[in-house]
Amino acid sequence: MNEIPASETRSDSPSGPSGHPYPAAGVFWTFLRFGVSCFGGPIAHIGYFRNEFVTRRKWLDEAAFGDLLALCQFLPGPASSQLGFSIGLARAGYRGGLAAWLGFTLPSAVLMVLFAYGAGAATGPYAQALLHGLKLVAVVIVAQAVWGMAGTLSRGWARASITLGSALIALLIHSTWAQLAAITSGAAAGWLVCGPTESADIGSSVRIYVSRHVAAGALATFLGLLSLPALLGQFVSSPGVELFNAFYRSGALVFGGGHVVLPLLQQAFVTPGWVTNDAFLSGYGAAQALPGPLFTFAAYLGAIAHTTPRGIAGAALGVVSIFLPGVLILLAAIPYWQSLRREPLTRAMMSGASAAVVGLLAAALYRPLWVTSVTGATDLGLVVGGFALLVGWRTPPLVVVAAIPAAALGLKMLA
């Protein structure tokens, strides 16, 4: 069956209320809101996306969301940004994917550049209380996501067992490869124990149109950019090429989300002396306190690196270079994933992989989110109250996002 390019219109392609293709501008503004409000790191971003696009907007259903998430978790690159790109791509074609990435990434990248130029980070006890409240919001959002996804993707003894096994792998194996091992094991277990009944609903509501030609070009570009700069370095000395290579290789070789890129970037920038270790850690701390994807740390490094280009040009090169491999490998995989997932065996494997993703989210809910955010009875009360508001009383998420940091600030002022 021939794949249809994302830019072409079909009667069953994503559309707005009028029946015309959904505008990329609408995708941009939707994701821009996430870019300025999504705190808590990549795991929390997944919870925000699920609440917005599955629960509120209903752009895709729970099974399709889990299907896409399993694919993005399996591939190298920043999973939450790849998931956002996929949702934009499904909604408004290639321009929608680009719009989703720009909206989600731009605010954090700009803030990281401002920090690099000395705008500073939030200091003082009250500012820290607000930031701590935002970390508690992330705990609540992820807990809601685990609760909702488990009800759909971990139904039945087979998938529940896969979820439990995946969580144990993530909690007991402290390795950057634990996530990949959990998803691979989940897919294998799905193949063995998930029958047609368990797997029939996976990916039921989303189709992303990427042509095989685009996929082949994306794969060739991904591999070429991974090897060509190193080959050129044997003959031509170019700081710009070296800077691009440092960012691109870090983005291409990371599995497990934004935090795993830390040692790769540290080796690429601190070891050759482009950035001091103190400056590196300072920027990384700021990146964790800001909304949006953690990979925008590259904007800070590109702006301050003792090489060329630097400043605004270096920041732009860093952001594009570190995100580019994740987008390319995603485009390369989508057409084959689209075809393969229709097969009963593949659906069973994707069912197992999706159940494994729920386990990974549950493990991440505990570590790092819970152990680094919930430090006492007061924090526990705020988290339980926020979860009750979201799940029990169906309170709009924006209310909870505002209420918990406000409560944290109020408690700090009364202390």
Q: Which two tokens stand for residue 289?
A: 């306190």
Return all residues near 303 (Cβ < 8 A) that are at least 6 apart.
Answer: 112, 113, 116, 117, 310, 311, 312, 314, 315, 318
User: Rounded to whole angstroms, how far apart are CA atoms 303 and 315?
Assistant: 5
Q: Is the link from the previous residue into 309 a cis peptide, with omega within 30 of 0? A: yes
Domain assignment present for 1? no
CB 132 within 8 A of CB 141: no
Cα radius of gyration (the chain): 21
User: Rounded to whole angstroms, how far apart are CA atoms 119 and 113?
Assistant: 9
Cα three-residue angle 292-52-139, rounded to 5 degrees? 60
Domain assignment present for 397? yes
Domain assignment present for 252? yes
Domain count along the chain:
1
Q: Where are the alpha helices (DSSP H) in 206-310?
A: 212-232, 239-252, 261-269, 277-289, 297-304
End-to-end CA distance of the chain: 65
Backbone phi and psi for residue 334, each to the nearest 5 degrees, phi listed first: -60, -50
Which segments in the chain show pLDDT lower than 70? 1-21, 40-41, 119-123, 175-176, 195-206, 230, 232-236, 255-263, 282, 285, 288-289
- Residues above pLDDT 70, as percent of the chain: 84
What integer pLDDT is reported at residue 206 of this predicted model?
Answer: 63
What integer pLDDT is reported at residue 163 of this predicted model?
Answer: 94
Domain assignment present for 337? yes
Cα three-residue angle 360-362-364, rounded to 5 degrees? 70
Segments forming the whole domain that contains residue 75: 23-415
Backbone phi and psi for residue 324, each to the nearest 5 degrees, phi listed first: -55, -45
Return all residues near 193 (Cβ < 8 A) that are at least 6 apart.
Answer: 158, 161, 162, 352
What integer pLDDT is reported at residue 202 of this predicted model?
Answer: 46
> What is the per-residue pLDDT across 191-200, written as a single tens digit (0 to 9) for each?
888 765 444 4
CB 365 within 8 A of CB 146: yes
Domain assignment present for 242? yes
What integer pLDDT is reported at residue 185 of this predicted model?
Answer: 92
Domain assignment present for 166? yes
Domain assignment present for 10? no
Domain assignment present for 17? no
